[in-house]
Amino acid sequence: MSVDDDTVRRIARLARIAVEEKEIPHWRGEINAVLKFAEQLNEVNVDGVEPMTSVTPMQLPMREDKVTDGEVPEKVLSNAPQTQDGFYLVPKVVE
């Protein structure tokens, strides 16, 4: 799998990163290098290997599972392209 210039532009737009036209070939090479590395990982035989969270056995700390708004709604909404009444405003996708 490899990306072309249009894909680099789309990734930059989705990530809201300003990429100048002259930088696109550089970023195309960087993204393709990452994808090539990721493809190499498919060649590793992991049959019988248990999933792990760390190279050393450990118990992850647990916390109470409670719903909160994060207590920073203004910061969260500042990332949205459009907001309305304290919510993200998104295009309608279901008729």
| Each residue's pLDDT tens digit, 10-22 | 999 999 999 999 9
Report d(CA 32, CA 92) in Å as an integer: 33
Q: What is the pTM of this model?
A: 0.51
Report the alpha-carbon distance of residue 76 to residue 86 in Å, rounded: 10
Residue 70 CB contacts under 8 Å (≥ 6 apart), including other chains: 76
Tens-digit pLDDT profile for residues 38-64: 999 999 999 998 888 788 888 878 988
